[in-house]
Amino acid sequence: MRRFLNLDRVLLALACGCGSILFPISVLTAQSLPERKETPSQKAPARKPDLEKRKEDLNKQSEAAFERRDYKGAEAVLRELIEIDGENFVPWYNLACSLSMQGRTEDAGPMLEKAIELGFSDLTTLQSDPHMAALRRTPNYRRLADSWGKILNERIENNLDALKKSYGPAYTFEKDPALRLVFASAFAPSSFLQAKKEVARMTVLWETLVSTPVTGSVLNPAATRPAREEPDDSPAGARDQATIPWVFVVLPTQDDYAKWAIAKFGPAWERVGGSYSHDEKKLVAKDLSSTLRHEYWHVLHWRDLTARRQMHPIWIMEGLCSLPEDLETLASGELKPVASWRTNQARHLARSGTLTPWDRLFKLDHKQFIGSRPLAYYAQARCIFLYLHSRGKLKEWYQTYVDGYGEDATGAKAFEKVLGKPLKDIQKDFAAWLRLLPQVQEEFKHGDAVFPFDFQEGTGDGIVVASIVSTRSREGGVKGDRNKVGAGLRIRDVITAVDGKPVREMAELIQVLGEYFPGTEVEVEYRRGKTTGTAKLVLVAFK
């Protein structure tokens, strides 16, 4: 079974007033931004390593200038940075901040408009950024804030046109105004429909298990705005649904995914199943199951923490969003997070006494988290939230955490308040719970119920029929011609469900078929090109 990392870069230092953010409050940072095309210059172009090093140096200089409140110095550095990184909205926004702090609001306005033109879309940050206080008192700012929804809608149409030109007619493009999503899908219509349903289910699951609605929630845009530490000088109702930034959800072909991932992640690209870039407002998922669920929860989490003006640590971001990777659908239709290959890893760590102490895990930064032991950290972080869910305390913990964020951004005190014990005792209980979790099957073993033909992992929406008459079917005692054995299935058909249960990847198939015995008749749903159908077949024993 393929195991993917989900490398979701923390791109912005959001306005939060408190917390362990290394950069000036609300000043955006470009250290983790994806590579962008450089603005043409009359000067001879620098070699790429030199250019990237220069960008990094200038970013550090501008951050240092903000820290010492040298806004004139920051302006000079940012103007130099724009010469080589002018297609990136971050230096334009920060230049507007530096000009606003100098009282030069007439100059700051056009810089902010340029940042918006290039992709800045976070009205919450703009409303609360102390560096923008002077600019917010100007008619130009009021005009921008009042028309924020219109600005976002106009931009999404332009970006959608560009996306269509980039991916071409083989893709299906569709907007979901309720969820503020724009889909670009290379999958067959039936698979794309299931992907949209999965996204809708994940939206409901998020607000069922995790977050109470805040202003900007797609399910409750009229919910109460969280308390501000300073007076809100923005227009009333500015953070309604129309001002939530649109997010692109790209479900690419395998070739397009490889091109994108190689450019973004380099040599490690094959270990990455997808990503959500909050700066770009773009989600890319290789499959329509665990990766899509994980990355979409990042979208919802970012919307939530942005509306609250908070920046949650990496262990929360990745652990929480790993939770829906593996789910069980109960008879009631309710979705329940369950143990997975990640819990197998964490269980092994617990049994060997090598779990990371929480006081250290909670303080890891992004670089440390995805550094030498990323899979181990992901596993432990997911299991912490699975533990909270098993105790019926997940939603209470999250609400306690966000309410007390100013006091403790790590999450430790929220555990003590919700579970009523010191953190060390809670970690002992967690380790004991983890050691008792069942080992989750990660591959088929002798005697397991499987299809009576050879099959293999597909391209993200199902399991591919590799051959109709296999050694398994012959040795399993299944008699008859190939159509009877395969129930009319053909080579390269894609099986998408078994008795109505999705099997979009091998892990899902192992989980679903684990409920059956050899000799059981099941109904499978399959896709053949753009057409769909159902077939009945008898499961055989894996040999």
Query: Residue 54 belongs to a domain with what CATH number?
Result: 1.25.40.10
Give CA torsion, residues 176, 209, 316, 361, to 10 deg: -160
Question: With bands split at pLDDT 50, 70 and 90, how would you rate the model's confidence at 485?
Answer: low
Handedness of CA 409, 415, 416, 418 (dihedral sign): positive
pLDDT of residue 20: 22
Give domain status of residue 441, yes or no: no
Please give the residue that has the higher pLDDT: either 289 or 242: 289
Give domain status of residue 321, yes or no: no
Please say if the pLDDT value at position 147 is more than 80.
yes
Question: With bands split at pLDDT 50, 70 and 90, how would you rate the model's confidence at 421?
Answer: very high
Instruction: Please identify which residue in the block is written with the tokens 């043409």.
Output: 40
Please say if the pLDDT value at position 483 is more than 60.
no
Same domain, 398 and 478: no
The partner residues of 524 in beta bridges, in order of sequence, read 498, 535
Q: How many Å apart are CA 408 and CA 405, to the nearest integer?
A: 5
Residues 6+ apart with CB under 8 A from 183: 172, 173, 174, 175, 176, 192, 195, 196, 248, 249, 251
The predicted-structure confidence for 263-305, as pLDDT tens digits, reads as follows 888 888 888 899 999 988 999 999 999 999 999 999 999 999 9
Same domain, 368 and 503: no
Write b or e for each residue in 412-434: b if 16 or more Cβ atoms lie within 10 A of its Cβ, otherwise e.
Answer: bebbeebbeeebeebbeebbebb
Number of domains in the chain: 3
Give domain status of residue 416, yes or no: yes
Give domain status of residue 246, yes or no: yes
With contact defined as beta carbons under 8 Å apart, do 144 and 151 qualify? yes
Q: How many Å apart are CA 133 and CA 169, to the nearest integer?
A: 45
Handedness of CA 189, 193, 194, 199 (dihedral sign): positive
Give domain status of residue 43, yes or no: yes
Q: Which two tokens stand for residue 349?
A: 């760590």
Same domain, 418 and 458: no
Please say if the pLDDT value at position 530 is more than 60.
yes
pLDDT of residue 331: 86
Question: With bands split at pLDDT 50, 70 and 90, how would you rate the model's confidence at 201?
Answer: very high
Q: How many Å apart are CA 492 and CA 494, to the nearest integer?
A: 6
Same domain, 51 and 183: yes
The amino acid present at 238, given as its one-letter code, is: A
Q: Which of 279, 311, 343 is the last residue of a domain?
A: 311
Q: Which of 251, 285, 311 is the last residue of a domain?
A: 311
Give domain status of residue 177, yes or no: yes
Task: For helices 341-351 and 423-435, give the axis angle rounded to 10 degrees.
Answer: 110
Domain ranges, residue 401: 327-435
Give domain status of residue 320, yes or no: no
Average pLDDT along the chain: 85
Give domain status of residue 274, yes or no: yes
pLDDT of residue 417: 98
The predicted-structure confidence for 94-136, as pLDDT tens digits, reads as follows 999 999 999 999 999 999 999 998 889 888 889 989 999 999 9
Q: Please state the rounded mean pLDDT for residues 468-482.
A: 50
How far, CA to CA in Å, does 29 sit from each of 21, 275, 364, 506?
11, 19, 19, 39
Same domain, 159 and 76: yes
With contact defined as beta carbons under 8 Å apart, do 318 and 302 qualify? no
- 463 membership: H or E segment, kind and range: strand 463-467
The predicted-structure confidence for 445-468, as pLDDT tens digits, reads as follows 999 999 999 999 999 999 999 988
The amino acid present at 274, given as its one-letter code, is: G
Please say if the pLDDT value at position 7 is more than 80.
no
Q: How many Å apart are CA 103 and CA 203, to the nearest integer?
A: 43
43 DSSP 8-state letter: S
Same domain, 405 and 282: no
% of the chain exceeding 70 in pLDDT: 82
How would you classify the pairing of strands 494-498 and 463-467? antiparallel
DSSP 293-340: HHHHHHHHHHHHHHHTT----HHHHHHHHHGGGSEEE-TTS-EEE---
Same domain, 229 and 114: yes
Q: How many Å apart are CA 4 and CA 291, to the nearest integer?
A: 8
pLDDT of residue 512: 95
| CATH (domain of 523) | 2.30.42.10
- Map 466-504 to HEC letters: EECCCHHHHHCCCCCCHHHHHCCCCCCCEEEEECCEECC
Q: Which two tokens stand for residue 56?
A: 């990094």
% of the chain exceeding 90 in pLDDT: 69
pTM over 0.85: no
Question: With bands split at pLDDT 50, 70 and 90, how would you rate the model's confidence at 474?
Answer: very low
Please say if the pLDDT value at position 27 is more than 70.
no
Same domain, 488 and 381: no
Same domain, 364 and 457: no
Instruction: Specify the range with the lowest mean pLDDT, choosing from 67-71, 85-89, 377-381, 520-524.
Output: 85-89
Q: How many Å apart are CA 261 and CA 277, to the nearest integer?
A: 13
Please say if the pLDDT value at position 374 is more than 80.
yes
Q: Which of 282, 311, 340 is the last residue of a domain?
A: 311
Question: With bands split at pLDDT 50, 70 and 90, how would you rate the model's confidence at 432?
Answer: very high
Please say if the pLDDT value at position 205 is more than 90.
yes
Half-sphere exposure of 396 (CA within 13 A, CB side): 12
With contact defined as beta carbons under 8 Å apart, do 246 and 299 qualify? no
**Alpha-carbon radius of gyration of the chain:** 25
Half-sphere exposure of 401 (CA within 13 A, CB side): 26
Same domain, 38 and 100: yes
The predicted-structure confidence for 389-417, as pLDDT tens digits, reads as follows 999 999 999 999 999 999 999 999 999 99
Same domain, 296 and 363: no
The winner for highest mean pLDDT among 32-46, 143-157, 461-475 is 143-157
Same domain, 190 and 304: yes
Q: Please state the rounded mean pLDDT for residues 354-378.
A: 93
pLDDT of residue 214: 56
